[in-house]
């Protein structure tokens, strides 16, 4: 059976570690802590804007989070250095297994979508640079709802755009909040737990399947159809 597969992008399809590497060049041993706080703050700002109904492009959430972390951690980065960090997000590489997995899923007749909080234009350009744009039928962005995941309206919008039924739709993500949001909205979900240190939020809402890497997805989808 053909399925509709919505892939989160950052940390699921593309590797954000090059952001940390750039931070190492700028601040040495503080880079790991700074990168973690910056990532968390980006999401916090998007969540707050979603609740406030005060939408701004995700890139602004990212930049304001960067400025906040610079202030918090007393890192007086220049404007040029901050822009260089923002630019890293525009050319992140795909994880090694991703191209082969996407090709396999497309060959099996599944419909593949990139589904992100970031703008459609930014995601399309990123996928093109990463060499994986060809596998996706479309980029669906939360910007079109002027909100962010995990707002249920964003997941409902994805289902409508894909012209699919909820149980036919899967959300594949490395972010627990995204998986929980999609499951709460009625989608099937796959959580990509790339690190054993990552903890899934104990909300009593579990992913349909848990993967250690994306190359486990094709077999997991086949197995799920026989349950």
Q: What is the pLDDT of residues 74-95, one digit of tens each?
A: 999 999 999 999 999 999 999 9
Among 41-50, 107-116, 158-167, the minimum mean pLDDT is found in 158-167
Share of the chain above pLDDT 90, in %: 93
How confident is residue 151, by pLDDT bands cut at 50, 70 and 90? very high
> Is-contact 148 46, C-beta < 8 A?
yes
Average of per-residue pLDDT values in the chain: 96
Quick: pLDDT tens for 95-146: 999 999 999 999 999 999 999 999 999 999 999 999 999 999 999 999 999 9
How confident is residue 1, by pLDDT bands cut at 50, 70 and 90? confident
How confident is residue 227, by pLDDT bands cut at 50, 70 and 90? low
Quick: pLDDT tens for 182-198: 999 999 999 999 999 99
Q: Can you give the pTM of this predicted structure? A: 0.95
- At 53 the pLDDT is 96
Res 59 pLDDT > 80: yes
- Residue 66 tokens read as 């960067």
> Is-contact 140 160, C-beta < 8 A?
no
> Is-contact 114 123, C-beta < 8 A?
yes
- Residue 2 tokens read as 């053909």
Cα torsion 59, 60, 64, 67 to 10°: value is 60
For residues 158-164, average pLDDT: 95
Q: What angle do CA 54, 52, 116 make, to 5 degrees?
A: 65
> Is-contact 147 153, C-beta < 8 A?
yes
- At 225 the pLDDT is 75
**What is the dihedral sign for C-alpha 208, 107, 91, 144?**
negative
């Amino acid at each position: 059976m053909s399925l509709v597969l919505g892939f989160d992008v950052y940390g699921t399809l593309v590797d954000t570690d090059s952001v940390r590497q750039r931070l190492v060049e700028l601040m040495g041993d503080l880079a790991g802590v700074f990168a973690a706080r910056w990532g968390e703050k980006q999401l916090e700002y998007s969540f707050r804007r979603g609740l406030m109904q005060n939408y701004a492009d995700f890139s602004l959430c990212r930049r304001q989070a960067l400025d906040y972390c610079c202030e918090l951690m007393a890192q007086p980065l220049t404007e040029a250095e901050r822009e260089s960090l923002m630019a890293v997000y525009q050319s992140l590489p795909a994880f090694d297994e991703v191209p082969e997995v996407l090709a396999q899923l497309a060959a099996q007749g599944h419909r593949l979508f990139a589904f992100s909080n970031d703008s459609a234009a930014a995601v399309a350009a990123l996928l093109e640079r990463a060499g994986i744009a060809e596998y996706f039928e479309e980029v669906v962005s939360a910007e079109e709802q002027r909100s962010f995941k995990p707002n249920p309206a964003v997941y409902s919008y994805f289902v409508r755009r894909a012209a699919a039924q909820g149980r036919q739709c899967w959300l594949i993500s490395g972010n627990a909040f995204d998986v929980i949001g999609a499951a709460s909205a009625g989608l099937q979900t796959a959580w990509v737990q790339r690190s054993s240190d990552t903890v899934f939020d104990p909300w009593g809402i579990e992913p349909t399947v848990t993967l250690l890497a994306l190359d486990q997805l094709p077999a997991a989808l086949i197995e799920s159809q026989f349950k």
